[in-house]
Amino acid sequence: MKSGLFGFAILASLVFVAVIVPFYAPYDVVRNWSSYGPWQDNPRYAAPEWSEVFTGKHLPRTMIFENDTFRRAIVREYIPPPKGPLNITLINMTKTFYYDFDDFPSELSLAITAVFPAQSPAVQITLSRPDGQFVPLLTYSVRNEFRNRSQVITQNVAYSEVMESKIRAWIARENNGVSPDKLTNATILPEVALFAKNDSAQLDGHQAHLLKGFYQLIVEYTGFTLVDDVGVRFIVEGTVYGLAGTDDHRRDLLTGLLWGAPIALAFGVAAGGVVVLIQTLLGALGGWYGGPIDEFIQRASDFYLVIPTLPILILVSLFYRPGIVALLFYLVAFGIVGSTTKVVRSIVLQIKEEQFIEAAQSYGASRGRILFKYIIPRIMPYTFALVALSVPAFIFVEASLSFLGLGDPVLPTWGAIIGEAYTQGALFYGWWWWIVFPSAGIIYTTIGFALLGYAFDKVLNPRLREE
């Protein structure tokens, strides 16, 4: 009985998750699971935050600096002739932050929103470092592609060759012992080089030495009207995120994992329930009526046991790309008869000989009435056990199809997450969180149903109870 309680506790916890999850992440979030937009501020391939316990380091969190956290200084001036006539707006945006983590950030991201009526403004971006050095990163003019009035252009500042050559020039200027060969040929990782000490290891990738302290990002904007304005958004991406990390699309895996629970539960229980009920009914029908009906159902279930269900299901998914509800229908179609039919039939054959059936016949109950009022209620408990035992199988069918990339195109399911992790090489790169958590979710659910089914089985199967 203990195992049944355990199983019940596991399922209760899953139901609890299913109830809680809309509060953590509303359905709207999940509907956008497969689109890029909502996730782009998160770091990529970030491990869970608590995993720093294993490394003993304080790993970098993502720091997002919104526009209104920047300090701004604005000068608007009309310069009359002879020097002009010229309108000019100088905006100086600075953001100071303290970098105290034990590892380099994983990415830097800077977006500039320029508001200008006519002429392209100029922007200069500089990073000031704790060692007092200023690194000029970029000077460029915001492109005025559409040539219409009152422009608002938001641009992500892309890492470019210009920026790379500026970083190389800066390192060369500081003359810190990096070999000339490396200076020209080594790959520059800006998130490392900019946050590393000025020593000979600065260009050695992640072997460089981290420089902690106060950094300052400076954006100097020069516009050519009196109404120009600028907004800056700066993100220093960390290497850890949340409780379950992120994937290649920067998605918060916790959201997907939590939503995986109700999806798996609903799918498994619906498929298992419907399939087992239909099979039970047909098995009872065959066992009770006998004759040609029985023969037909028997042959049909033999047939269903032999056809290659999974390859055919894969074929169906490949050609018709069903959503999760359509998949449910296909599974039911391939499970109308099967092993449950056989089990139920043999039970009905036993019940048929019992005296209460004879009694019912003697007072003139119709055959249909006996089947539905006397026999089916007797086999219902077995059916519950069989439903509980069959749920994991259906969860796994869905997971397997999703793993192959043939699952529901929108919703996050555990199998889909594992499949994406696998195809993105998570095993090879060691992004363990991406694989371990969804697998653990599947196995946890499976254990729950298995324990429950096993407990039912013991209660209902007198032979096992005798032990």
Partner 1 sequence: MGLARHMAKRAIFLAITLVIAIYITVVIANGGGLIDNILKAQIKNDLTQSLHNNPQYNLLNQTAKDAYFNDKYNALLEARGLNEPFLAKSFRFTGDALTLQLGRAQYIQANDGSFQVVDIIGERLPRTLILFTMANVIGAVFGIWLGLWMARKALSSFDRGLTVLSITTFIVPPWVYGIFFILVFGFQFHVFPTQGWIGVPAPPSGTLAWYGDVFYHMLLPMLTFAFATFGSWSYTTRNLVLQIMDEDFVTAARAKGLPEHTVLTKYVLRAASPPIVTSLALTLISAWQGAIITETVFNYQGIGQLFFNAIGQFDAPVVIALTAIYAYLLVVTVFILDLVYGLLDPRIRALRR
Summarize as ranges the residues that interact with partner 1 (CB under 8 A): 3, 299, 302-303, 305-312, 314-316, 318-320, 392-393, 396, 400, 403-406, 418, 422, 427-428, 430, 432, 435-436, 439, 442-443, 446-447, 449-451, 454, 463-464, 467
CB of 392 to partner 1, least distance (A): 5
CB of 398 to partner 1, least distance (A): 12
Burial (0-12, 13-18, 19+ Cβ within 10 Å), 452: buried
The nearer residue to partner 1, 133 or 423, going by C-beta atoms, is: 423
Residue 125's SS3 state is strand
The nearer residue to partner 1, 91 or 389, going by C-beta atoms, is: 389
CB of 7 to partner 1, least distance (A): 10
CB of 307 to partner 1, least distance (A): 4
The nearer residue to partner 1, 43 or 392, going by C-beta atoms, is: 392
The nearer residue to partner 1, 323 or 430, going by C-beta atoms, is: 430
The nearer residue to partner 1, 223 or 419, going by C-beta atoms, is: 419
Structure tokens at 123: 């922007």
Q: Shortest CA distance to 376 belongs to which of 284, 293, 288?
A: 284
H-type alpha helices, 247-375: 253-289, 291-306, 309-320, 324-333, 339-352, 355-362, 367-369
CB of 298 to partner 1, least distance (A): 11
CB of 73 to partner 1, least distance (A): 52
Dihedral angle computed from the Cα positions of residues 354, 355, 359 and 360, in that order, rounded to the nearest 10 degrees:
-20
- Spatial neighbors of 181 by CB under 8 A, at least 6 apart, are none
CB of 2 to partner 1, least distance (A): 9
The nearer residue to partner 1, 117 or 405, going by C-beta atoms, is: 405
> For residue 53, how many other CB atoms are within 10 A of its CB?
9
The nearer residue to partner 1, 136 or 405, going by C-beta atoms, is: 405
Burial (0-12, 13-18, 19+ Cβ within 10 Å), 294: middle
The nearer residue to partner 1, 53 or 307, going by C-beta atoms, is: 307
CB of 254 to partner 1, least distance (A): 20
Chain position carrying tokens 């179609």: 333
β pairing state of 122-128 and 213-223: antiparallel
The nearer residue to partner 1, 39 or 403, going by C-beta atoms, is: 403
Spatial distance between the Cα atoms of 114 and 154, rounded to a whole number of angstroms: 6
Spatial distance between the Cα atoms of 226 and 75, rounded to a whole number of angstroms: 9
CB of 422 to partner 1, least distance (A): 7
> For residue 302, how many other CB atoms are within 10 A of its CB?
13
Residue 144 DSSP class: -
Structure tokens at 224: 């050519």
Spatial distance between the Cα atoms of 400 and 413, rounded to a whole number of angstroms: 11
